[in-house]
Homo-oligomer: A and B are copies of this chain.
């Protein structure tokens, strides 16, 4: 049975990339809701409804476990969806927090994400539950995903945007920055340049793949990747290859989601 993975768009393919590296034998079904992307500026109710429709599709297509490869859906919808969905759901938050714990000493921790992710307080709450003594600095960085989609992955503008967003955290001398959006691993170069080498970057895509190690078997045959998008595969949301890495993309199929009541 395949592993289901979904995101608002193609950003979640950074998670697929990490999952394929960790579990090469696992078949993966990926849904990108490109007809309604992004989720980061939408309400919890709307994001929960969209996620429910996608989970319904993935279950119908045989997924026995689902990775919510979207930080916004993880922050706004996963807890509620677990109450009603009969398949294990892996969100991004627990694994991101776990990875932050592993690299952080005692210094302040920064979190960056979409407006909705940061406003939900999900990361801040999860972090302060395990380390109430830590100072946590959260910053919504809604321009970073559009910069990645425009493929402005480096250069003066991107650096200045990053600097403007991160200045308050840099003043507080954060030691760890949690990248709480699937697009941000593509900005690691700029983030390192701005933050310096002393700040550890937590890539939530890698952390998420790592968190599945206890549930996933290691087999050597090569698994298959199927990508489904709710809008035509187009050039308007960044190149699929940017997110997925150099592996072959395989087939991309367009689907229509059904409302779930």
Contacts and interface: CB of A to CB of B under 8 A. Distances in A.
Contacts of A161: 157
Contacts of A115: 235-236
Contacts of A234: 41-43
B37 A41 contact: yes
Interface stretch (A81-89, A145-153, A171-179, A185-193): A145-153
A34 B46 CA distance: 10
A171 to B, nearest CB: 19
A232 interface: yes
B43 A232 contact: yes
A238 to B, nearest CB: 9
Tell me what chain A mostly uses at the interface: helix, strand, loop, or mixed. Answer: loop
Interface string A225-241: 00000011011110000
A35 B36 contact: yes
A99 B249 CA distance: 45
A13 to B, nearest CB: 16
Given A142-B149, A157-B164, 12 more contacts: A35-B36, A35-B42, A40-B236, A41-B234, A42-B236, A43-B231, A43-B232, A142-B236, A143-B146, A146-B146, A157-B160, A157-B161
Interface string A32-67: 001111001111011000000000000000000000
